[in-house]
Amino acid sequence: MVLLIITVTFASIDWYMSITPEWSSTIYGFIFVAAWALSALAFVVAVMALLTGEEPLKQVVAPLHFQDLGKLLLALVMLWAYFAFSQFLIIWSGNLPEEIHWYLPRLHDGWGAIVLTVVTLHFGLRSSSCCHGR
């Protein structure tokens, strides 16, 4: 797992940060690690939900398992949001002109609405679906 985290961190820096070489971030790789872990867990939960109606998982998986996986999914969403917001906060509070230009196109021309939708759906749907029943 440590090797995977290091590999994903350096690969995301090479793949995505090389698109804008004048911009740099020290937490960008960890944002991708959290996003990939979140995507993988969401995929596993979705496949598990599809397969619980069939044997042998019908006997093994209980609704309590999905509640626990939902809480873990919410924790990963919060970790991803913490990483992304901490990067944004440092750049915003430091008023770093060489790094602000990375955020400007992502906050205008419809992207701001997409960001707001992603945040709302991540927290709104996941928190409401994982914490009911206890």
- Determine the pLDDT at residue 133: 47
- The pLDDT of 33-41, averaged and rounded, is 91
Q: Are 84 and 122 in contact (CB under 8 A)?
A: no
Q: Choose the most confident range, by mean pLDDT, from 20-24, 47-51, 58-62, 113-117.
A: 47-51
Selection from 61-65, 102-106, 119-123 with the highest mean pLDDT: 61-65
User: In degrees rounded to 5, what are phi and psi of residue 62?
Assistant: -115, 165
Q: Is residue 39 predicted with pLDDT exceeding 50?
A: yes
Indicate the pLDDT class of residue 76, thresholds 50, 70 and 90: very high
Rounded mean pLDDT, 68-77: 90
As a whole-number percent, the residues of the chain with pLDDT over 70 amount to: 90
- What's the pLDDT tens digit per position in 110-134? 777 877 787 787 766 655 555 544 4
- Is 17 within 8 Å of 23 (Cβ atoms)? yes
pLDDT (tens digit per residue) in 2-27: 998 899 888 888 887 777 777 777 78
- Report if pTM > 0.85: no
Of 22, 48, 35, the C-alpha closest to 81 is 35
